[in-house]
């Protein structure tokens, strides 16, 4: 799988879409968007926001989900 470097911004909790975020509501600077700077440290004009990976909640699996998967693996 090929990852584009700007996915760092897309994976951030503060990303708003359309190459904008809470730190840069008028547009993410090219140095950050390109991934050359991962925005873990202060950057001029970032209003105190830094990269923070957004949490993605996964759906709850049924209790017997893995039992069903394991039974398929043992059939030949």
pLDDT tens column, 9-28? 999 999 999 999 999 999 99
Q: pTM of the prediction?
A: 0.67
| Predicted pLDDT at 4 | 56
- List phi, psi (to 5°) of 27: 135, 135
Q: What are the structural domain ranges in the chain?
A: 1-76
| Predicted pLDDT at 70 | 56
| Predicted pLDDT at 62 | 87
Q: Check whether 73 has a pLDDT greater than 90.
A: no
């Amino acid at each position: 799988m090929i990852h584009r470097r700007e996915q760092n911004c897309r994976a951030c909790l503060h990303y708003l879409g359309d190459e904008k975020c809470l730190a840069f509501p008028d547009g993410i600077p090219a140095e950050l968007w390109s991934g050359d700077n991962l925005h873990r440290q202060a950057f001029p004009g970032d209003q105190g926001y830094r990269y923070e990976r957004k949490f993605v909640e996964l759906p709850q699996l049924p209790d017997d989900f893995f039992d069903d998967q394991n039974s398929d693996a043992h059939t030949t």
